[in-house]
Structure 1
Amino acid sequence: MDATDDRLIVIGRIVGLHGVAGEVKLESYTEPRTQIFRYEPWLLTSAAGQSEVRGCRGRAQGKGIVATLPDVTDRDRAATLVGCEIQVKRSALPRPKRGEFYWADLEGLEVVTTEGVALGRISHLLATGSNDVMVVRDGGRERLLPFILDDYVKAVDLEARRVTVDWDPEF
């Protein structure tokens, strides 16, 4: 898998309104959260459709982020955007450092044990206080595996779309 592909990656969403001048509250999935403004263009996606936006600005405020979007100058227009996902092309994100991975690149990968036993595919990942966790699904079965390189995760091969883990398949 190549970092130049054009898959759309969800990096946040519009969750509310701030004031009367058209500012919106964001939930950012980037780290740090204000990094969301470094990637563009944004593709705002909702059930009503999609629109491309460039030049968004914002600031951290409390536990969230307040953003100003171009051409959104009143509360009524901003209200139409609440609930939109904020997506960018995967190619807009920088290449991860060696040993680091974007969750979006791991989702869908096959998970096998070091003995070659298939455990399923990564449905999604969860952040916990101590480490990330892969949610691996195989039919009706779901496993939660810690994403700890070298301890449990022995290899990540994005080209082969496979993660090799040291894990008991009965667990």
Structure 2
Amino acid sequence: MAKDEQTRRVLLGEISGVHGIRGDILVRTYTATPEAIAGYGPLTDATGARAFSLTVVRVTDKGVVARIAGISDRTTAEALRGTKLFVARTRLPETDTSEFYHADLIGLEALAEDGAHLGEIVSVQNFGAGDLLELKPLAGSSEFIPFEDQWVPQIDLMTRTVIIKRPPSTGDENEDAEPGEPDRD
């Protein structure tokens, strides 16, 4: 296994506030079930220098209230506000062949069906209607591709590539026509 694969980390949550005077924290989680964040073992900060062992106290509508081993006062907990919590990628459960962690998709080289380079996947977003891959081309602005088999027929994590079929353009199909001029087919 390559060194970067061993050290690659995945963002699981962020300390968004404190709760009470005993140093409990509020964590916004990015896990499928909020309380699962404590089940991956010690989490680290963005640098990997600090490790945090969490115990979930309860789930709230804003995330989880948790305790960090060794933190017992509000002032110390407050200093951690904004800390992003990561876990080594190797600690996450394996996925089925048709399932992917968002972190595994980011950074993939996007190719057209004919092999032409389209750009890179820079994020995975969901605005309520399903996951979207954000494709950043070499030039120009990003575009969003629906993360569905119809538009993303192949993902190869070994070669770090993804095949993209672009949806039909939603722009004006007759861009060459003068304003007020009828479309000509």
Q: Do the two structures share a fold, i.e. TM-score over 0.5?
A: yes
Residue 144 of structure 1 aligns with an amino acid whose one-letter code is F
Partner-residue secondary structure (3-state), 1:56: strand
Q: Does the Cα contact within 8 Å between 1:119 and 1:169 map onto a contact in 2?
A: no
Counterpart-to-counterpart distance in 2, 1:111 and 1:170: 18
Counterpart-to-counterpart distance in 2, 1:59 and 1:101: 28
Counterpart-to-counterpart distance in 1, 2:114 and 2:12: 35
Q: Does the Cα contact within 8 Å between 1:136 and 1:144 map onto a contact in 2?
A: yes
Q: Does 1:37 align with 2:38?
A: yes
Percent identity (aligned) = 31
Counterpart-to-counterpart distance in 1, 2:126 and 2:169: 24
**1:168–1:44 distance in 2 versus 1, CA, 3 Å:** closer
1:9 corresponds to: 10
Q: Does the Cα contact within 8 Å between 2:145 and 2:167 map onto a contact in 1?
A: no
What RMSD, in angstroms, separates the aligned Cα atoms of the two structures?
2.2
Q: Does the Cα contact within 8 Å between 1:58 and 1:65 map onto a contact in 2?
A: yes
Q: Does 1:147 align with 2:147?
A: yes
Higher relative contact order (CA closer than 8 Å, sequence separation 6+): 1
Q: Shift of residue 115 of structure 1?
A: 2.1
2:155 corresponds to: 156
Matches within 5 A, 1:18-167: 18-45=19-46, 50-141=49-140, 142-148=142-148, 150-167=149-166
Counterpart-to-counterpart distance in 2, 1:82 and 1:63: 14
Residue 98 of structure 1 aligns with an amino acid whose one-letter code is T
Q: Which has the larger share of strand?
A: 1
Q: Does the Cα contact within 8 Å between 2:38 and 2:53 map onto a contact in 1?
A: no
TM-score normalized by the length of structure 2: 0.82
Q: Shift of residue 168 of structure 1?
A: 5.8
Q: Does the Cα contact within 8 Å between 2:11 and 2:86 map onto a contact in 1?
A: yes
> Greater CA radius of gyration, 1 or 2?
2
Counterpart-to-counterpart distance in 1, 2:37 and 2:17: 17
Counterpart-to-counterpart distance in 1, 2:167 and 2:60: 44
Q: Structure 1 stretches of 5 or more lacking a match?
A: none
Residue 123 of structure 2 aligns with an amino acid whose one-letter code is H
Q: Does the Cα contact within 8 Å between 1:17 and 1:25 map onto a contact in 2?
A: yes
Q: Does the Cα contact within 8 Å between 1:113 and 1:169 map onto a contact in 2?
A: no
Counterpart-to-counterpart distance in 2, 1:91 and 1:26: 22
Residue 66 of structure 2 aligns with an amino acid whose one-letter code is A
Counterpart-to-counterpart distance in 1, 2:37 and 2:57: 9
Residue 124 of structure 2 aligns with an amino acid whose one-letter code is L
| Total equivalences in the alignment | 167
